[in-house]
């Protein structure tokens, strides 16, 4: 640093009056805007090594919440630090625009209650509403992000609805298809009857997808048909929590090694179930029912039975007992009812035994004419009707209600069902092992997530359902013949390819425009069949996972740029994204590039309301963000969140008291030290580190240690650790150095003045990423230069290191602190002829002040107690 004095910058805050941090922050934000300081921070590093930061795109069809606030602070803090370390860090904002969130908001605005109403309205009109919806709150988002002092490039943002972005997504789909990693299959998937689309398995693990729910559970008779066997006419009993699947029953299954018994019930009927489950049915069968015969499960395999309903009686190969290793005796009866269209394992076993799946539900989860008595009933509404019919037919052994954890749609909140539907998949299981390998190269914060939460998820990863039977999204770029006699499938990966085949270059890849691209089937000599696009759109998670390349329209543009910016150096989101964005980024990066998508990822915990529950607008269980900004300021909120355990993976309860504590811990010590210097050293200080005074040497050496610890912590993204170290230093600065040095300032000791000036100049650079606004005010006041955020990070060589002195003085401080504690405990007061200068504000939530005293020019006040 230069050794000459700097001119002061006046922010209109006298040293001897209270400062309102929120008002001061607004002045800084305006200064940054007028000066275009953010762009200067990027352009000033042109030609330097780049630090690549990927910003996960949020939806803008709702206002930001504390989760966005927390993540946004990290997204600002890390790039600020890396910029001061000399690296160029571009920060491009992005918007997630497609998918169910947008469609549900449009349905709400339009009063749509059923998906069929969208078809009647027309896709073009509906999608226009979706487009308007997703960008509704962009201005509010910009204001919010700006107020939290987050630097980000809004003017050069990317949107997943842009044609360039969508073309890159189309390219990715075709690349995967050409690698043999895309297929269409008929699989049982989590299905939203409300949104009328399948979801992916990872979507059922997002947020609060599993909720407690009460459902009916029934135990039902199924008479065995085994002429000549002692089991003939005995009732095999099954248990299910989905009575609505019983009309679709096509088989039952037993474990071949489990022991089963035929018992005589108190009603005179014979029942067959696992021996281990007999006691569970003592109420119906008796406390000690007579055992008629014993059988291994393998002996039951192949026996026929009469299903509870006759809708599919005579279905080929159906209504026999099958063998299945997944059958257990943990619950139920040890005999499992199979409705292959509604259970993944059921479908696998049925298919392996030549039983074709039947599907009696429409896309809205209602029964079709295949089961006439229940036609038109939604499955959950059909439950009580089906149970009533079973009871009337004498087939209901038990009816009970259970409470269990059940999957719900992460967007609509409605309960899901599992249902066989045709869908498009990425064959993740083909490269799953490689995903596990590449994960070893990623640095995770906290570290345990790599092999724990994320690593375990990768090890069990399944093929990814990427198609949605919806309207607003990137189209699946597949065209098929509409005549099965002349089969043909075309997959497209660019606008050029579409233009070559269809003779027109699309300017909009959304439905219905993309669906209008139709051409004759080249493989049909009659010329009658046509090539038409499949109706599905892509899962919006496929788009967000494509963000690294799609944001720059790779591979159609910026090939060289992308190769130099992939993988990214850093990403951050909450830890639930191990099933979301982190996962889809990793899947697509592995499949397309055989590389991880990111080098380092921070996965923070969840922000909770003041009642310990997830934040909810309806509950009102968290402080209003704007009120916090207006009362305490953004730096106070930043400190509260960044210094908390949430960045180490824990959860955090947001309270007003906690936020105000951030003012006391961080903002006030810095501001009080700065105010003290202004008050007692009105002349400019000089940057120097050569004082021979022991206190000056100590605080400079303490600062050198602090610089090293904070630097090391931020290099490994231990933000909470950096906050801890800054807090400890500020305590040493204000409660030790300044208090012990007051008389020197009254005497206008140049060593003391210059040392405090130097310490504040350095410490504000260290604090700049953690407290960007108050640091800016103090640093500019000290230096008169443009911005602390354009300055370089302090180098170790700038400060004299003396670890022995630091250790010794810290021991002295500990002794004094202990003595002070004893004095307070014993209510002892010592009166000393020393004046007192207040360096801590009484109201930490509002302002800091250093009151005037008569000792400014060395006139001492006698008889005041030294705290």
Between the alpha carbon of residue 191 and those of residues 20, 408, 535, 738, the distances in Å are 53, 9, 17, 65
Do residues 187 and 425 lie in contact, with contact meaning Cβ atoms separated by under 8 Å? yes
For residue 136, the SS3 value is: coil
CB half-sphere exposure, 281, CA atoms < 13 A? 28
Asked about 96 being catalytic, the answer comes back as yes
d(CA 849, CA 841) in angstroms, rounded, equals 6
CB half-sphere exposure, 813, CA atoms < 13 A? 21
Asked about 749 being catalytic, the answer comes back as no
Per-position b or e across 483-518, b if 16+ CB within 10 A of its CB: eeeeeeebbbbbbebbeeebeeebeebbbeebeebe
Asked about 577 being catalytic, the answer comes back as yes
d(CA 798, CA 473) in angstroms, rounded, equals 55
Q: Which of 239, 424, 457, 581 is catalytic?
A: 581
d(CA 685, CA 688) in angstroms, rounded, equals 9
Between the alpha carbon of residue 44 and those of residues 789, 790, 794, the distances in Å are 11, 8, 17
How many whole angstroms from its chain centre is CA 850?
A: 44
Helices marked H in 692-800 = 694-715, 719-732, 739-740, 742-746, 750-767, 772-783
d(CA 756, CA 681) in angstroms, rounded, equals 10
Do residues 326 and 345 lie in contact, with contact meaning Cβ atoms separated by under 8 Å? yes
Do residues 787 and 776 lie in contact, with contact meaning Cβ atoms separated by under 8 Å? yes
Do residues 92 and 165 lie in contact, with contact meaning Cβ atoms separated by under 8 Å? no
- Structure-block tokens of residue 756: 């405090």
Do residues 78 and 390 lie in contact, with contact meaning Cβ atoms separated by under 8 Å? no
How many whole angstroms from its chain centre is CA 147?
A: 22
Q: Which of 359, 614, 708, 751 is catalytic?
A: 614
For 398, list phi and psi in degrees, rounded to 5. Answer: -150, 145
d(CA 150, CA 143) in angstroms, rounded, equals 10
Asked about 617 being catalytic, the answer comes back as yes
For residue 800, the SS3 value is: coil
Instruction: List, as own/partner pairs, every contact residues 791-798 make where C-beta atoms lie below 8 angstroms and the sequence separation is at least 24, other chains included.
Output: 791/84, 791/765, 792/84, 792/86, 792/765, 793/81, 793/84, 793/85, 793/86, 793/711, 793/765, 793/766, 794/707, 794/762, 794/765, 794/766, 796/704, 796/707, 796/708, 798/1, 798/689, 798/762
Sequence-ordered strand ranges (E) for 427-533: 443-445, 464-465, 467-468, 478-481, 489-491, 519-520, 530-533
For 603, list phi and psi in degrees, rounded to 5. Answer: -120, 95
Q: What is the β-pairing status of strands 153-159 and 92-95?
A: parallel
Do residues 763 and 725 lie in contact, with contact meaning Cβ atoms separated by under 8 Å? no
* In the block, residue with structure tokens 């092992």: 433
Do residues 374 and 246 lie in contact, with contact meaning Cβ atoms separated by under 8 Å? no
Could you tell me the sign of the dihedral formed by the alpha carbons of 474, 476, 481, 482, in that order? negative
Q: Which of 22, 32, 55, 57 is catalytic?
A: 57
β-partners of residue 290 are: 264
Q: Which of 528, 617, 619, 626 is catalytic?
A: 617
Q: Which of 96, 389, 463, 718 is catalytic?
A: 96
For 805, list phi and psi in degrees, rounded to 5. Answer: -65, -40
Distance linking the first and last C-alpha atoms of the chain: 36
Q: Which of 141, 410, 457, 541 is catalytic?
A: 541
- Helix 750-767 / helix 694-715 crossing angle, nearest 10 deg: 10
Catalytic positions, please? 57, 96, 541, 577, 581, 614, 617
């Amino acid at each position: 640093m230069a050794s000459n004095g700097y001119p002061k910058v006046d922010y209109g805050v006298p040293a001897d009056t209270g400062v309102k941090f929120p008002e001061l922050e607004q002045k800084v934000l305006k200064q940054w805007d007028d000066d275009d300081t953010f762009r200067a921070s990027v352009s000033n590093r042109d030609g330097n090594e780049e630090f690549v930061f990927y910003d996960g795109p949020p939806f803008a069809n709702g206002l930001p919440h504390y989760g966005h606030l927390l993540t946004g602070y990290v997204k600002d803090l890390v790039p600020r630090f890396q910029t001061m370390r000399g690296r160029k860090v571009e920060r491009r904002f992005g918007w997630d625009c497609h998918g169910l969130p947008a469609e549900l908001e449009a349905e709400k605005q339009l009063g749509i209650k059923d998906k069929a109403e969208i078809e009647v309205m027309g896709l073009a009109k509906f999608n226009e509403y979706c487009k308007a919806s997703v960008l509704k709150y962009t201005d509010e988002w910009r204001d919010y992000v700006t107020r939290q002092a987050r630097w980000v490039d809004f003017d050069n943002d990317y949107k997943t609805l842009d044609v360039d972005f969508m073309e890159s997504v189309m390219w990715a789909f075709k690349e995967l298809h050409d690698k043999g990693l895309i297929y269409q299959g008929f699989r049982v998937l989590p299905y939203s009857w409300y949104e009328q689309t399948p979801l992916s398995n990872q979507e059922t693990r997002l947020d609060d997808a599993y909720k407690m729910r009460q459902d009916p559970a029934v135990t039902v008779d199924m008479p065995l048909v085994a002429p000549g066997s002692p089991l003939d006419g005995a009732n095999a009993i099954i248990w299910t929590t989905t009575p609505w699947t019983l009309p679709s029953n096509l088989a039952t299954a037993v474990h071949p090694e489990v022991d089963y018994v035929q018992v005589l019930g108190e009603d005179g009927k014979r029942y067959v179930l696992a021996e281990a489950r007999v006691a569970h049915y003592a109420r119906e069968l008796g406390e000690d029912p007579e055992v008629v015969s014993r059988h291994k499960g393998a002996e039951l395999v192949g026996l026929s039975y009469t299903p509870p309903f006759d809708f599919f009686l005579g279905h080929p190969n159906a209504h026999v007992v099958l063998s299945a290793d997944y059958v257990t005796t943990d619950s139920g009866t040890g005999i499992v009812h199979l409705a292959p269209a509604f259970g993944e394992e059921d479908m696998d076993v049925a298919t392996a035994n030549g039983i074709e799946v039947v599907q009696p539900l429409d896309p809205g989860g209602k029964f079709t004419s295949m089961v006439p008595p229940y036609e038109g009933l939604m499955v959950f509404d059909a439950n009580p009707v089906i149970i009533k019919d079973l009871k009337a037919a004498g087939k209901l052994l038990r009816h009970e209600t259970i409470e269990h954890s059940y999957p719900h749609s992460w967007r609509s909140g409605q309960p899901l069902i599992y249902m066989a539907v045709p869908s498009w998949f990425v064959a993740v299981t083909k490269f799953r092992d490689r995903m596990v390998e590449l994960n070893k190269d990623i640095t995770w914060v906290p570290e345990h997530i790599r092999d724990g939460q994320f690593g375990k998820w990768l090890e069990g990863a399944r093929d990814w359902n990427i198609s949605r039977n919806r309207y607003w999204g990137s189209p699946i770029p597949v065209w098929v013949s509409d005549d099965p006699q002349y089969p043909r499938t075309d997959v497209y990966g660019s606008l050029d390819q579409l233009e070559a085949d269809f003779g027109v270059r699309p300017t909009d890849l959304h439905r219905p425009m993309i669906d209008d691209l139709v051409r004759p089937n080249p493989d049909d000599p009659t010329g009658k069949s046509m090539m038409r696009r499949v109706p599905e759109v892509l899962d919006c998670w496929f788009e967000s996972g494509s963000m690294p390349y799609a944001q720059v329209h790779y591979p159609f543009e910026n090939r060289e740029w992308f190769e130099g910016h992939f993988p990214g150096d850093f990403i951050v989101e909450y830890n639930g994204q191990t099933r979301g964005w982190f996962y889809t980024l990793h899947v697509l990066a592995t499949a397309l590039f055989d590389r991880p998508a990111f080098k380092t990822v921070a996965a923070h915990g969840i922000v909770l309301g003041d009642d310990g529950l997830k934040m909810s607008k309806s509950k009102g269980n968290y402080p209003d963000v704007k009120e916090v900004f207006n009362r305490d300021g953004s730096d106070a909120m930043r400190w509260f969140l960044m210094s908390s355990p949430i960045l180490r993976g824990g959860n955090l309860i947001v309270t007003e008291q906690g936020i105000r504590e951030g003012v006391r811990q961080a903002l006030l010590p810095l501001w009080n030290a700065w105010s003290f210097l202004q008050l007692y050293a009105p002349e400019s200080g000089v940057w120097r580190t050569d004082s021979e005074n022991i206190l000056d040497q100590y605080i400079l050496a303490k600062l050198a240690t602090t610089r090293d610890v904070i630097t090391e912590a931020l290099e490994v993204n231990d933000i909470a650790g950096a906050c801890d170290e800054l807090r400890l230093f500020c305590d040493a600065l204000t409660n030790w150095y300044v208090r012990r040095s007051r008389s020197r300032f009254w005497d206008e000791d140049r060593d003391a003045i210059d040392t405090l000036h130097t310490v504040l100049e350095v410490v504000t650079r260290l604090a700049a990423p953690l407290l960007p606004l108050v640091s800016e005010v103090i640093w500019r006041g000290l230096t008169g230069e443009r911005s602390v955020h354009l300055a370089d990070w302090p180098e170790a060589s700038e400060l004299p290191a003396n670890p022995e002195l630091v250790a010794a003085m810290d021991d002295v401080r500990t002794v004094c602190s202990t003595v002070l504690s004893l004095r307070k405990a014993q209510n002892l007061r010592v009166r000393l002829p020393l004046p007192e200068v207040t360096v801590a504000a009484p109201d930490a939530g509002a302002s800091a002040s250093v009151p005037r005293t008569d000792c400014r020019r060395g006139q001492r006040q006698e008889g005041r107690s030294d705290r």
